[in-house]
């Protein structure tokens, strides 16, 4: 049950979810500050104002990572901390925070893995249209160049975007994430500009240094239709569209320089954003690809009105929602209501590997689960998280044995933290955080993970 030599073991977080210090040292507001301060958007009115106060506690947090034996730490930069207005003037105190963090990691021999954008767009840029504005691609590339220039001497692994599907479709399509827009047209525009921004950022960083390892982090998953739907039922088209929007919309332009035909058939909503030369920029070669995997996606057919067209659903529904509903959750269902489907990770990786000759080396950049266990006598006995890790690492090992080039695994998350629209309710951490006192308590899963890292493999039981 051993992993390949030099396999990289780590854990992941993101700026808005842990840093707090939302108005400190010149940081500008970002779209999550605005969204979480808007009544009704986040459960219980929770915000990231304080979060887990990592901005002030980073040194202790890094020591804790070292105690667990982490070899890598995936974190993200807060754009509005570094360039408060989104473009233009640089806030040195913002850069200084990351400078201290990176040095603290390196002192402990922990490899920094940086993400440039984990959803916290400077609010001023949203006022100009955010990712629906074509210039967002250049705003992002310019910001990326500033950060890369500051840290590429010490940070070797860079991801441009985290889960652009979420930014585009949860942020602009159904609006449950910042900036809270419900408009499929905006969602596809954001998707294209995110991809274009990725490509432009890769070009800008490549020009600065040739030894940086540049990549992108995608949330991909197998999409299935279960149950019996007659051949002419729209569920078939809807599920194919779901798959195309979740997976192909990202992998095809990035690795094959074109959009999936099924999406091009949607017409202007997709094609209207694409200009000559864009796909060449988007498919700029990358050195690695990050995959975030939580569960596979399963649908069952549902009743539909006879005229319903899956390509053009009524109202503000996204294409791919007609005639389907989510299948009931299976496995050790998490507190979020998510299924646990470890074999989906193996299936996803093996399918991608078969599909793309030019698939870059893969890092699992997120994988994890929300379960709520109390601290009892200083112990958090989160057995279901240990099971989740064990099952998913076993599936990962199977994919590696089937020939997929996977180079590392980052568990989501190191700490309980601000889980977006769910506020502090969903606890994904291997380390429990008391949100009143900020006391950190490693859970049993953290101790299990420390053993996995030390052995570079899984215990056989
Ligand atoms: C992913 C996000 C991460 C966290 C986990 C649970 O989609 O990248 O920030 O919220 O889900």
- Along the chain (461 residues), what's the average pLDDT of each consecutive run of 10 residues? 96 99 98 99 98 99 98 99 98 99 99 99 99 99 98 98 98 97 97 99 97 98 96 95 98 98 97 98 98 98 85 87 96 98 98 98 99 98 98 98 98 99 98 98 98 94 58
Nearest alpha carbon to residue 325 among 232, 238, 222, 247: 238
Give the model's pLDDT for residue 305.
76
Going from the C-alpha of 19 to that of each of 61, 77, 208, 362, 421, the distances in angstroms are: 11, 10, 28, 28, 17
163 close to ligand 1 (CB < 6 Angstrom):
yes
252 is catalytic: no
* Helices 54-68, 444-455: crossing angle, 10 deg rounding: 50
Residue of 19, 91, 163, 252 marked active site: 163
Residue 220's pLDDT is what? 99
Reply yes or no on whether 24 is catalytic.
Answer: no
User: In this structure, is residue 107 part of a structural domain?
Assistant: yes
At residue 194, the 3 state secondary structure works out as helix
Quote the tokens at residue 71. 């070899």
Classify residue 396: in a domain, yes or no: yes
Residue 343 lies in a domain: yes
Integer Cα distance of 90 and 67 in angstroms: 34
- Beta carbon of 151 within 6 Å of any ligand 1 atom: no
Q: What's the pLDDT at 461? A: 58
Nearest residue (CA) to ligand 1, atom 10 = 419
The whole-number pLDDT of residue 460 equals: 76
- Which H or E element spans position 186? helix 184-208
Tokens of 214: 């540049």
**336 Cα nearest atom in ligand 1:** 6
| Strand 288-292 with 362-366, pairing | parallel
Which among 460, 384, 395 is positioned nearest to 428, based on CA atoms?
Answer: 384
Share in percent of the chain as helix, strand, coil (round to 5): 40, 15, 45
Q: What is the DSSP string of 314-371?
A: STTPPTT-TTEEEPPP-SS--TT-----HHHHHHHHHHHHHH-TTPPPEEEEE-----
Q: Which of 181, 256, 86, 354 is nearest to 94 (CA)?
A: 86
- How far is the C-alpha of 279 from the C-alpha of 445, rounded, in Å? 42
For ligand 1, is residue 428 a contact (CB within 6 Å)? yes
- The SS3 assignment for 37 reads coil
Q: Which residue has tokens 């210039």? A: 135
Q: Is 3 a domain residue?
A: no
- For residue 304, how far is the Cα from the chain centroid? 33
Q: Is the peptide bond before 450 cis (omega within 30 degrees of 0)?
A: no
Catalytic residue among 19, 91, 252, 366: 366
CB 278 within 8 A of CB 206: no
* Residue 38 belongs to some domain of the structure: yes
Q: Which atom of ligand 1 is nearest to the CA of 419?
A: 10
Residue 2 lies in a domain: no
120 lines ligand 1 (CB under 6 A): no
Which of 246, 412, 426, when mutated, tests ligand 1's pocket best, judged by the most ligand atoms within 8 Å of its CB? 412
The Cβ of residue 190 has, within 10 Å, a number of other Cβ atoms equal to 27
Instruction: Please report, for the domain that includes residue 393, its CATH number.
Output: 3.20.20.80
**Nearest atom within ligand 1 for CA of residue 166:** 7
CA 156 to chain centre: 19
Residue 120: DSSP 8-state: -
208 occurs within a structural domain: yes
Please count the structural domains in the chain.
Answer: 1
| 59 HSE (CA, 13 A, CB side) | 2
State the distance from the centre of ligand 1 to the C-alpha of 88, rounded, in angstroms. 29
Closest CA to 11 of 435, 389, 399: 389
CB 415 within 8 A of CB 12: no
Range of the domain at 410: 8-455
Looking at residue 64, what is its pLDDT? Answer: 98
**Could you tell me if residue 1 is inside a domain?**
no
With a 6 A CB cut-off, is 166 part of the ligand 1 pocket? yes
Ligand 1 closest atom vs CA 370: 6
Is residue 167 within 8 A of residue 140, CB to CB? The reply is no
Output the CA 230–ligand 1 centroid distance in Å: 36
DSSP state of 287: S
Residue 212 pLDDT? 98
């Amino acid at each position: 049950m051993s992993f390949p030599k030099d396999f990289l073991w780590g854990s992941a977080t993101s700026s808005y979810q842990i840093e707090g210090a939302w108005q400190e040292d010149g940081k500008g507001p970002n779209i999550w500050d605005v969204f979480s301060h808007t009544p009704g958007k986040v459960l219980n009115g929770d915000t990231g104002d304080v979060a887990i106060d990592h901005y002030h506690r980073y040194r202790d947090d890094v020591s804790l990572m070292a105690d667990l034996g982490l070899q890598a730490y995936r974190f993200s930069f807060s754009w509005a901390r570094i360039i408060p207005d989104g473009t233009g003037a640089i806030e040195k105190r913002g850069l200084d925070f990351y400078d201290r963090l990176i040095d603290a990691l390196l002192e402990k021999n922990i490899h920094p893995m940086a993400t440039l954008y984990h959803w916290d767009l400077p609010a001023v840029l949203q006022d100009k249209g955010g990712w629906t504005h074509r210039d967002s691609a250049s705003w992002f590339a310019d910001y990326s160049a500033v950060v890369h220039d500051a840290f590429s001497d010490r940070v070797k692994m860079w991801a441009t975007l985290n889960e652009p599907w979420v930014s585009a479709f949860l942020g602009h399509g159904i609006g449950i994430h910042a900036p809270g827009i419900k408009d499929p047209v905006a969602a596809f525009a954001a998707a294209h500009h995110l991809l274009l921004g990725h490509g432009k950022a890769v070009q800008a960083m490549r020009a600065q240094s040739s030894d940086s390892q540049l990549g992108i982090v995608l949330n991909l998953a197998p999409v299935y239709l279960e149950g019996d739907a007659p051949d002419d039922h729209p569920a078939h088209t809807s599920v194919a569209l779901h798959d195309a929007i979740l997976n192909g919309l990202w992998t095809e332009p990035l690795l094959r320089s074109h959009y999936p035909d099924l999406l091009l058939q949607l017409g202007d909503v997709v094609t209207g954003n694409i200009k000559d030369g864009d796909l060449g920029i988007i498919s700029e070669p990358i050195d690695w690809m990050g995959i975030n995997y939580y569960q596979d996606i399963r649908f069952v057919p549902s009743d539909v009105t006879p005229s319903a067209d899956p390509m053009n659903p009524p109202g503000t529904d996204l294409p791919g929602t007609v005639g389907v509903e989510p299948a009931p959750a299976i496995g050790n269902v998490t507190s979020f209501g998510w299924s646990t489907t470890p074999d989906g990770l193996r299936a996803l990786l093996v399918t991608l590997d078969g599909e793309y000759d030019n698939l870059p080396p893969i890092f699992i950049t997120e994988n994890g689960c929300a379960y709520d266990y109390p601290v009892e006598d200083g112990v958090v006995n989160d057995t279901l998280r240990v099971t989740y890790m064990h099952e998913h690492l076993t599936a990962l090992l199977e994919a590696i044995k089937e020939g997929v080039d996977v180079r590392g695994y980052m568990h989501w998350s190191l700490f309980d933290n601000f889980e977006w629209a769910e506020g502090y309710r969903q606890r994904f951490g291997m380390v429990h955080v008391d949100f009143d006192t900020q006391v950190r308590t490693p859970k049993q899963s953290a101790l299990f993970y420390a053993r996995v890292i030390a052995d570079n493999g899984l215990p056989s039981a």
